[in-house]
Amino acid sequence: MDTNQYLSMFIDESREHLQAMNDNMLALENAPDDISIVQNMFRSAHTLKGMSATMGFEDIASLTHEMENVLDLVRNGKLKMEDYTFETIFQSLDALEAMVADIVDGGTGKSDVSSIVTDLKRIVDGTYGAASQEKKAAPAAEAAGGSADSVRGLLDEYQSSVLRQSLETGHKAYRIVVKIRKDCVLKAVRAYMVFDALSRFGETIKSVPSTEDIEADRFDYEFTLVMLSASEAGEIEAAINGVSEIEQALVQPIAADDLDAASTPSAASEAAAAVSAPVAQASPAASTPAAKAAAPAAGGKSAPAATRTIRVDIEKLDTLMNLFSEMLIDRVRLESLANEIKRPDLIETVEHMGRVSSDLQGVVMKLRMMPVESVFNRFPRMVRDVAKSLGKKVDLVITGADTELDRTVVDEIGDPLVHLLRNSVDHGIESVEERVKAGKPETGTVHLRAFHSGNHVFIEAEDDGKGINRDIVLKRAIKNGIVTKEQGDAMTDEAVYMLLFASGFSTAEVISDISGRGVGLDVVKSKIESLGGRVSVTSTLGKGSKFSIQLPLTLSIIMAMMVKLGGEKYAIPLSSIVETMILRKEDIRNVHGTRMFDYRSSVVPLVSLSKLFDVPDYSEEGEDETEVVIVRKGDRIAGLAVDELIGQQEIVLKALGKYLNRVFAVSGATILGDGQVALILDTNALIK
């Protein structure tokens, strides 16, 4: 079978299952006796094992198989989750993530996991710790006791009565023991095929383990059935042996005498009931075609409803976005032509097309949007590991994970957030001793939250640690030559905190493998600003700090103010504009060679775009009045002098290409309705 066509699906689903297992492990640490969490993990591990075996990634399949064995003992109450078990399973998950990452990079997914497998086996056989664990690690099949030797103990009183009446009316009854080969990877599928074969011979009235457990692969290569049939034992046995990977099929007729003790519950029947107790939760494995078919064949259940979602390759979404962008340009062009021709039916058609394309734009934009949850999900495990390595106690509280952002932005914010969170845990949260001494709880808290505000998304990382010491930051900044002492004394607290983002700045006395407050924060600032966002810091000494990131909702289609400079047109992103105004020549003053003007009880600089871009046919200096666009970057404001305001317009961002990637104060270009190219201004570069 050619598995290449399924590789992308395997990678996506493997990541989902690994993320789910990581999340469940973190939850299990807080509630080690919650068997439902273990059930969820078992199902994820089982599904991953089946997928990897089908795709031929044997190392992944073998490691998840050993994880299954451990989890099976835990969920059946035969093993307690201890520190050693937690660490070993976490190591297993790390190894699985590394193998999947290798597959993504074009590798084979092979890895030497023998030491982890050995550790998992030691947990199963109890040799890693107390000898008493050996008893706990006994195979679950033993709990069924003598159910493999006779029909007694398999049936309850009602089932025995039904079987006895059937025998009296001339029907035949059989006790069937099916053993599947130990090297069979997808034993649940083989079990389904056995049930399917038996459905042609009669009715199954009892199964140990239960059909639900068999369907979900919760059995140990052997199961026992009691069925009614009009066929001979040899026919039934031959049908079962016709299924591949069946080691043995034992079909024994049941006589009325065999039912005498069946109605009396025994220890064996109680144990069998415990092993086969169904779990009332949907299993990922049940979404496979075999499992869906197994339910009605074996237990009379209806198949689950079909999923209403599909996976779409990212490149297809990018192509769709590019095609829509071109259509948007043509729509603007058509609107311009229709207004020139002034033909009513043409104008009406173009207006209708505009409404339809606006709706289409909304759909396309939603397709590109994805929740930040895909990035946030990986942080609980990271915070746990960092805190543990530092000997600290830290809780990560995530809110707003369903907040949606453009896929391009989501892909890029992961690394900046890693820096911020590692800094919060390493340099923000105090040690347990320091927190107790300060009258705080032993466990520190880091809040990671996301929320919408206007056309922006805000992501905040806030800790309840010791806060940022202004004096220490300023002292290091002066020492590194970032600011002078005079400049520092005049700076606000927020301005001092922003010095943390200066290149190479660090307040760490000892550079660790985690980070010092400031290490990597220059990277954070650069990355966020490259996405059209900005970052700010607030802090209270002794109480904690908050890093806030503001990001645009999308980077593909934005609203912009179109302006004119002589014969040239430029676009200014609406998200950075505060307002527009008309400035008279006499209101402009010259301060140390810089043109300034009064704006809302402050003095702000006036930037001459005509000089900046060397526009040949326009200069605002000769004008009595000039149009000014007020733009903001953080808490800084500037005015951009322009010739004329054209108006607001949706524009499609186009990259300038690798040959024009260093044009100052230009972030890209757009094609206008009349076919002209207009440069998009980067207002962040204009305000320094």
* Residue 9 CB coordination number (10 Å): 12
What is the CB-side half-sphere exposure of residue 79 using CA atoms within 13 A?
32
- List of E strands, 4-75: none
For residue 210, the tally of other CB atoms under 10 A from its CB is 22
- For 163, the token pair is 């079987």
CA 27 to chain CA centroid, Å, is 17
Burial class (CB in 10 A: 0-12, 13-18, 19+), 601: exposed
85, 385, 431, 432, 544 from 390: Cα distances, Å: 21, 9, 8, 10, 18
C-alpha distances (whole Å) from 120 to each of 37, 92, 131 are 19, 9, 16
Residue type, 675: G
Distance CA 398, CA 445 (A): 11
Q: Which residues contact 468 (CB under 8 A, 6 or more apart)?
A: 497, 500, 517, 537, 539, 541, 545
Cα–Cα dist 28/597, whole Å: 62
CA distance 471 to 482: 14
- H or E stretch covering 562: strand 557-565
Beta bridge partners of 668: 680
Note the Cα 352 to chain centre separation in Å: 39
Query: Is 423 assigned a catalytic role?
Result: yes
601: phi > 0 → left, psi -120 to 50 → alpha, else beta; which?
A: left
Say which of 17, 24, 46, 419 is annotated catalytic: 46
Residue 643 structure tokens: 């010739």
Amino acid at 306: A
Q: Which helix (H) or strand (E) holds 41?
A: helix 35-55
Place of tokens 């790390």: 94
Q: Is 157 a catalytic residue?
A: no
Set 423, 568, 627, 684: catalytic member: 423
Tell me which DSSP letter residue 586 carries: G
Active site residue 68: yes
What are the structure tokens assigned to 471, written together?
């004096």
Amino acid at 557: I
β partners of residue 602: 599
Taking phi first (over 0 means left), then psi (-120 to 50 degrees means alpha), and beta for anything else, what does residue 603 get? beta
Pick the catalytic residue from 66, 68, 462, 568: 68
Q: For the chain, what's the residue count? A: 688
DSSP single-letter state for residue 517: T
The span from the CA of 660 to the CA of 414, in Å, is 27
Write the DSSP assignment of 401-454 as a string of letters: TT-EEEHHHHHHHHHHHHHHHHHIIIIISPPHHHHHHTT--SSEEEEEEEEEET
Q: Which residues are catalytic?
A: 46, 68, 423
